[in-house]
Amino acid sequence: MALALALAFVSMPAEAQKKGKTPDEAAKAWAELYPEIEKSIKAPTFREKDYPLFKYGKKSKTQGYLYTQLINKVIDRCSREGGGRVVIPAGTWLTGPITLKSNVNLHLEEGATLLFTPDLKEYPLVRTRWEGMDCYNYQPMIYAYEQENIAITGKGTIDGGAEIENWWRMCGKTAKASSRSASDVRFSWSGTKRVCLWRNAAWVTVTACVCSSSIRSSARMC
């Protein structure tokens, strides 16, 4: 629902500009259209079945071990079997890009951190979007394409692992040019009930392309 609302917010002013609407007309469109759009949005619902991550694979003691394959394997299984919650337990889990599938709720328990690797070799080129334009680029850290009924929930943390030395260097930022660390260049998204913290965001952390009924539940990015 949050994602759908965000898309609505972006599209309505743009449409008003195309048609040459005055600020008053645009404001009226917001007042009349937004409530109708909001009514049409339905929060996703999921089968009441949990898929605990380490029920389907083992923890590794190897430093730098990536849990990409395991996480995506459990997501695939959950989706194939009718959906439910893929549960990430407390702890810090290094991973590459995650692909969400239909009817899957990616749930981070309190104390859980998904830490994304800065190794570009782990991110294949995929069809995605950049500032509303379709393009091919590195796969976002959490990605969905032509899926439906998906969610990211919980009280855990999603850490993009972005620093000036990796992702933010692509924006021309250098330690000399900026007195701020990459972790200070962040997005904010306030929520209330369940809080999923997003930090050290890279250029694109989450993208859902051509998807329906998607929600990032009560998320807070910083």
**What are phi and psi for residue 210, nearest 5 degrees?**
50, 50
| Predicted structure pTM score | 0.70
Return the beta strands (E) in 125-205 as ranges: 125-130, 133-138, 142-145, 148-154, 157-159, 196-199
State pLDDT tens for residues 168-186.
677 666 654 443 333 322 2
124-150 pLDDT, tens digit per residue, is 998 887 777 888 888 888 988 889 999
Check if the beta carbon of residue 44 is closer than 8 Å to that of residue 149.
yes
Query: What is the C-alpha separation between 171 and 157, in angstroms, rounded?
Result: 24
19-29 per-position pLDDT tens digit: 566 778 888 87
